[in-house]
Amino acid sequence: MSQMNHNKIAVIDFGGQYAHLIAAKIRRLNVLAEIKQPEDPTETFKEYKGIVFSGSPALSSFGEDSDYNKEIFNLDLPILGLCFGHQEIAKYYGGTVIHGKQEWGRADLHILKKHPLFEGLEEVEQVWMSHFDSVSSLGPEFEELGYTVLDVNSEPHRYAAIGSDKLKRYGFQFHPEVDDSINGHVMLKNFVCGICGCEPSWNVENFLEEKLNQIRTQVGDNSVFLLASGGVDSTVAAVLLGRALGPDRVHLLHIDHGLMRQEESTRVIKAFKELGLGENLHFVDASEEFLDALKGAIQPEEKRRIIGNTFIEIFEREAEKRGFEKFLLGQGTIYPDTIETGGTRRADTIKTHHNRVPLIERMIEEGKVIEPLAELYKVEVRELGEMLGIPEELVWRQPFPGPGLGVRLLCSDGSSELNVEEFESLTAEINRSLKGYNLRGIPLPIKSVGVKADLRSYEHPALIEGDASWDNLLEAAGKIYKEVKGINRCVWNLGPKLSGTVRPLKAEVTRERLDLLRRADQLVMEGLKNHGLLREIWQCPTVFVPLEIDGKGSEFCIIRPVLSRRAMTATAAELPAELIKQLREALLSLPGISGLGYDLTSKPPGTIEWE
């Protein structure tokens, strides 16, 4: 079935983190969704059955990003606005938007009346919030359909769901498209299939067939040279390209950058040979080259750029050596990689992925790059892999970042990111938020990457300690994100009780630090495997932060188990008490380990990786 025969929904991308996730969720309803731009001509939208406005890093309260095509509002089509889109709809029709009443993470939506948008739902539903601005009043044609409450101590957040059946205009302050909005997909279905009247006719099999044809058209008579890390994305991309072009036209290059897990390259080479892609498989041990390039690099973005540029330098060298310079460069890029690096017109850069450095961007503009998975999220990539017959252990392995352990080994020049006054002020604010939880906390004198309201944040983690239930730990962490400015991450202390100071140490990427991190990572992964959690846990980074604690050690080890489906949002995963005990004993016994932390942070406000 061709795309022209499908009912379609237009998702207008205002640059929010979840624009393509909205489209992906709608496609899961077997309805074709396509990304459009706010400046697109009004006529562009007449072939659609409805429109969804995405979120944005812009602030509606200050009129940011307000120069889009307002004629869209005059179309006789239902429109649903999410987050920023919700605010813009309210404002256009006479409501007001203020800068304030921000919320992060899970909240309870209290539905005020029966409405087609909430058909089949309970009176209270869990939803996901991530915003700085809020709707504070409505225009005359609109009514309040629901409000949210973040926790038992929070005031109700009014106008979290609004609507006008007369105008066919609706708005959610929350994000129904993320998996943590438990029945968000039902709300989207009610809008798409109920209010817009779309017939479900699009499916993944059609997508695969269309993608195979697209690959053959783009590549033509050429061949592809794919940088193959051996992760889920590059493995599925390699097999997909092989299916479309034949294995003889797909050349794989696996580069050991010295930032891999233990014995990783050996396993990768074996896997590609078993997939029938070994004939044109090339291996380069470039670990010394990468380590030399990373000497002295401290900042996360600098490290990512160095790793990305070194990859491309080696790629160009190997391509010339092997006569591949005329081939297209293949990459296993998936959508979160592009959106987090500002890959859409308005998206704020959260972190730079190695496959989105300037050289790669230029190659994309020149038509020299093919990224067959760039429209997909991890769950769709896994499903595609299963359809292509890739073994389960490869399709369902945990994600591992392209820059490898390089982004899990934090570096420092030894200076504190906090002066005494800032430390004392943040400590007081953190402990005010923790009042009543039997917990205490301090800010750590380093920073990590996060994301708040579609914007990149580079802020301090809070280290908390004390005895509390898992639910209370998560609730306390949520209060800290909401109430304490400058904090985007919360870590629970699993090591000895703090009695002195936490001091940053001068450290960069070295083979010795990497080898110790590999040992720690192996202990964590073996622990997850022994407890049958490798499939349940989406990802579990083990992170080293160069901190001396109470005058001891040089590496603060942090474990980061998370639950997710698409990596656009995530929640901390609760590990069994027995596993925590085993990891505490094993990791704290490693040489140089100053302490052990358990990252409780959701995404947002923290990214899954620390850098």
175 catalytic per annotation: yes
Give me the pLDDT at residue 348, please.
52
pLDDT digits (tens, 9 = 90+) for 493-526: 999 998 889 999 999 999 999 999 999 999 999 9
What is d(CA 502, CA 491) in angstroms, rounded to the nearest whole number? 14
Q: Where are the domains of the chain?
A: 3-195, 204-404, 412-599
CB distance 289 to 311 below 8 Å: no
Instruction: Establish whether the linkage from the previous residue to 247 is cis, with ω within 30° of 0.
Output: no
Q: Which CATH class is domain 204-404?
A: alpha beta
Marked catalytic residue, from 20, 175, 251, 353? 175
Q: Single out the catalytic residue among 88, 103, 177, 555.
A: 177
The low-confidence residues of the chain, meaning pLDDT below 50, are 1-4, 350-353
Cα-Cα-Cα-Cα dihedral of 129, 135, 141, 142, to 10°? 30
**Per-residue confidence (pLDDT) for residue 454, from 0 to 100:** 56
Q: What pLDDT is stored for residue 103 in this prediction?
A: 78
CATH of 412-599, one of 2.60.120.260, 3.40.50.300, 3.30.300.10, 4.10.95.10: 3.30.300.10
pLDDT digits (tens, 9 = 90+) for 465-489: 999 999 999 999 999 988 999 999 9
CB 65 within 8 A of CB 22: no
Mark whether 574 is an active-site residue.
no
The single residue of 6, 83, 375, 555 carrying the catalytic annotation is 83
Place of tokens 């034949």: 246
Q: What is the pLDDT of residue 153?
A: 76
Is-catalytic flag, 264? no
Distance CA 386, CA 391 (A): 7
The reply to whether 412-599 shares the fold of 3-195 is no
Q: What is the pLDDT of residue 421?
A: 93
**Reduced DSSP (H G I as helix, E B as strand, rest coil) percent helix, strand, coil of the chain, to 5:** 35, 25, 40
Tell me which architecture the domain covering 3-195 has in CATH: 3-Layer(aba) Sandwich (3.40)
Q: Is 54 helix (H, G, I), strand (E, B) or coil?
A: coil
Supply the Cα-derived Rg of the chain in whole angstroms.
24
| Nearest Cα to Cα of residue 564 among 596, 604, 524, 516 | 604
